[in-house]
Amino acid sequence: MRISSSQITDSALKALQKNTEKLETARQKILDGKNFTRASDAPTEMKKSLAVKVSLQENSRYLKTTDDALSVLEARESTFSQSQDFMLQAKEIAISATNGTLTPQDRNVLAGQVGNILEGMVSIANGKIEDSYAWGGTKTSQQPFSISRNAQGEIIQANYVGNQEENKVAISQNEKMTLSVPGDKAFSSSLDSLIQLRDLLQNKEGLPETEQLKKISASLAGINNASDGILDLAAKIGNSIKHLQTKQSSLQQDSSQKEVHLSQIEDADIPTTVVQMTTAETAYNATLYTISRSNTKSLLDYLG
């Protein structure tokens, strides 16, 4: 069967188109540094790429959440440290106040010191983390403690007006963490014990000195219990911080692995692509030569 020159030309033109596409694809890969830019280029790989990108976006969101949560918990941890310092000062004052050689005036001076500690504790209890009140449960727009004062401006009562609801945040797809600590659990015992100690030092009940000293000594139990409560909460916060740090490290490691995987899916192997481009270019030039020879031969046949 004789193959005509037109058939040869048609076949060569098809080959030329195919080689042109291969050459252009290779060039585009080198320019973009990517294996594909459209879903039609590599549907399966594009699907894998999108799945990895979605997972990376989730990790990024959880990393932001854990970072914000760490800031909140570290602020709470710092607050508990300050509170514990205040309660230790109060304990030292209570112990020194049981010394029988002190005068009523001496104890009034100590009462003033306790009053200052009490004011400091109230400032902490009604304090903010960023722009929100920190210790009112989910009621973050108002002070969690309502403070009552006497005519002399002394604090006589601290009522908790927050709630017990928990502020939880998602730190992974299947885990949430509580960031809030109700203020009554954190500070009510401390505030009450400080008010009691100050009043005993001032001897507002007019007790005989012996009875006054007994009650001051007994008040140490309340101070110790309040201090222990703060320590317990601080320990829980510390454990939560460690857990968040571990979670954050795990998310960062997972993201790094996924970035590598995404690069393996998307990024072009430049040395291999250069070889592909060179091969396509050689085939392209060879096809052009074939077409040229075919056309020349056809012209000679026609002239002959």
Q: What is the pLDDT of residue 265?
A: 80
Verify that 247 and 276 share a domain, yes or no.
Answer: no
Range of the domain at 281: 5-51+270-303
CB-based contacts of 274: which residues, under 8 Å, 6+ apart? 26, 30
Three-state DSSP class for residue 168:
strand
Verify that 140 and 193 share a domain, yes or no.
Answer: yes
Verify that 41 and 16 share a domain, yes or no.
Answer: yes
In a domain, 265, yes or no: no
How many separate domains does the chain show? Answer: 2
In a domain, 137, yes or no: yes
Two structure tokens written together for 281: 């270019």
Give the pTM: 0.77
Strand ranges for the chain from DSSP E: 128-129, 132-133, 145-149, 155-160, 168-172, 175-178
Q: What is the pLDDT of residue 287?
A: 62
Verify that 47 and 27 share a domain, yes or no.
Answer: yes
Verify that 26 and 162 share a domain, yes or no.
Answer: no
Alpha carbon distance 159, 127 (integer Å): 15
Find, among 222, 119, 123, 135, the residue nearest to 185 by Cα.
135
Verify that 285 and 210 share a domain, yes or no.
Answer: no
Containing 127, the helix (H) or strand (E) segment is none
187 in Cβ contact with 83 (< 8 Å): yes
Q: What's the N-to-C CA distance of the chain in angstroms?
A: 22
Alpha carbon distance 207, 296 (integer Å): 127
Distance from chain centroid for Cα 112: 42
In a domain, 60, yes or no: no
Verify that 37 and 175 share a domain, yes or no.
Answer: no
Q: What is the pLDDT of residue 199?
A: 98
Per-residue pLDDT tens digits of the chain, which is 304 residues long:
555 555 555 665 665 566 565 556 656 555 555 666 666 667 888 888 889 999 999 999 999 999 999 999 999 999 999 999 999 999 999 999 998 899 999 999 999 999 999 999 999 999 999 899 999 999 999 999 999 999 999 999 999 999 999 999 999 999 999 999 999 999 999 999 999 999 999 999 999 999 999 999 999 999 999 999 999 999 999 999 999 999 999 999 999 999 999 888 866 555 555 555 566 556 556 666 566 666 555 544 544 5
Alpha carbon distance 244, 252 (integer Å): 12
Verify that 42 and 85 share a domain, yes or no.
Answer: no
Q: What is the pLDDT of residue 18?
A: 61
Q: What is the pLDDT of residue 49?
A: 86
Verify that 91 and 214 share a domain, yes or no.
Answer: yes
CATH of the domain at 98: 1.20.1330.10
